[in-house]
């Protein structure tokens, strides 16, 4: 690594430390809104067991999401976002042979 790159990296690490200590605000933040899983399911007009089957998950997992005990993460979160915005895509995949 050349000196210029190392200097930039070191400056970034120091800046990160000042942000973590609260001495400087972050230049940007990201807010991930919680998903309303129950609303998404109700839009499909399916019972919990039917919606869990469509998503390929256990009903207990769906119940935990709906009751706020757990939150969908990673691919499950993305799948639910697709289901909320493009339900026809989900139906197309589920109904295909």
Q: What is the pLDDT of residues 22-73, one digit of tens each?
A: 999 998 888 888 999 999 999 999 999 999 999 999 999 999 999 999 999 9
Record the pTM: 0.69
Cα 27 from Cα 21, distance rounded (Å): 15
Of 62, 58, 70, the closest CA to residue 34 belongs to 70
Instruction: Kindly list the domain boundaries of the chain, sorted by start residue.
Output: 1-28, 37-95
First to last CA, the chain: 53
37-95: what fold? 434 Repressor (Amino-terminal Domain) (1.10.260)
Of 30, 56, 52, the closest CA to residue 41 belongs to 52
């Amino acid at each position: 690594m050349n000196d210029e790159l190392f200097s930039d990296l070191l400056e970034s690490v120091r800046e990160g430390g000042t942000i973590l200590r609260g001495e400087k605000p972050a230049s940007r933040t990201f807010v991930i809104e919680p998903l309303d899983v129950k609303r998404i399911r109700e839009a499909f007009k399916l019972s919990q067991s039917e919606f869990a089957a469509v998503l390929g998950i256990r009903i207990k997992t769906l119940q935990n999401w709906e009751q706020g005990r757990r939150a969908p993460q990673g691919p499950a979160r993305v799948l639910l976002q697709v289901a909320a915005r493009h339900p026809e895509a989900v139906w197309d995949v589920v109904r295909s042979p």
